Amino acid sequence: MAHIGDAHQAENQGEAAGEQEQQRAERDPVQEMEPEGFEVHLRATSLPLPSVAFDSQSGQGRRALLTSGDPQGGTLPEQVGIYPELRGKTAIVTGGNTGIGEAVARRLGAQGANVTVIGSRHPAEAERVAEEIRAAGGSALAVAADLTRLSEGERMARETIDRFGQVDILVNSAGGFYAFRRVVDTDEDEWDRVIDVNLKSAFVSARSVLPDMLERSWGRIILISSEAGRMPVAFTAAHYAASKAGLLGFARHLAREVAPNGVTVNVTAPATTFSQRVRGLLTPEAEQRMLGVTPIGRIAEVDDQVGAVLFLASDDASYITGATIDVAGGKVML
């Protein structure tokens, strides 16, 4: 049987619990999560989020800092910068004169990075991209280099370091192939040329920038592969698929080699993307076939391929290495 003293004790405990609950309700939930000495500027209010529009052709949006109004009509104590912040970093983009590489180079410049734009067969196009990055307020250098030769890759790295002091980010977007050809119709020279342009160039580029990255214990290497390196797809060829699949193996092994030195190596694998060249190759019938196997329901534009690359180049991706991100609209799910 319960005693009167027990009833008084329960009543007192209930009153104490009620007081504690009221105190918790009155406390700032954000303040409760703050470590000692930490000041929170952005609290859980109805502040509008800033929006950023970026045009890869004009390069507009570079280093823009936005200020959002708070509900009282003032401004936030600090400005909100465009993500990711890459000021002070230097990036080399091979194949930066066209297509996905050009879109990546422009966006890196817009995020504040120094950019070396590499063109091999079309150096004037690389210079055009670099000039447009500079015109938008960025810092860029154009270098013509044949990245099937190690001496040319080393010169690429040396000219970048001479200009900007270091190499932090390598985006290897150089590549391509020359014809939709069956293996039985492919000669040895064409096979070697496609393997060199897509796979050997990645080795040459990485080999050339790694000494600087390893010395400073920081680096990001991002290789642009293809859905063709992940699975058989239409409108490609075996030599191209083999070279792009080779990038996946190269990236994984290199990632294990250099991870202890603060360098990450990752891959993006785009689906067919509407670069200027691809638009000229695809027939309306081919486009409809591709749409039929793409869950998102459209073919990628070059800007669709940029976000994954920028993320992998950022500090936020420091614990990711040896990974492949399929930027394929749902066509590839591995």
CA dist list (Å): 14 to 8, 10, 27, 130: 10, 6, 20, 71
Query: Among candidates 242, 151, 122, 249, which has minimal Cα distance to 194?
Result: 242
Residues of the chain with pLDDT under 50: 1-2, 4, 7, 24-25, 27-80
* Cβ-proximal residues to 280 (8 Å cutoff; 6+ apart), any chain: none
Query: Torsion over CA of 37, 43, 44 and 48, rounded to 10 degrees?
Result: -160
Write down the pLDDT at residue 13. 55
Q: What single DSSP character describes residue 69?
A: B
Residue 82 structure tokens: 């465009």
**Torsion sign across C-alpha atoms 138, 143, 144, 147:** negative
Return the domain boundaries, the chain: 90-327
pLDDT in the model for residue 65: 37
The per-residue pLDDT for 49 is 35
Q: Does domain 90-327 have CATH number 3.90.1010.10?
A: no
- Among this protein's residues, is 178 annotated catalytic? no
Q: Using one digit for the tens of pLDDT, what is the confidence trace for 67-117?
A: 333 334 443 334 435 678 899 999 999 999 989 899 999 999 999 999 999
For the stretch 287-319, pLDDT in tens is 788 777 888 888 778 888 899 999 999 999 999
Question: Which residue among 83, 178, 240, 319 is the active-site one?
Answer: 240
**pLDDT value for 305:** 87
The whole-number pLDDT of residue 56 equals: 45
Q: pTM for the whole thing?
A: 0.74
Helix, strand, coil shares, percent, the chain, to 5: 45, 15, 40
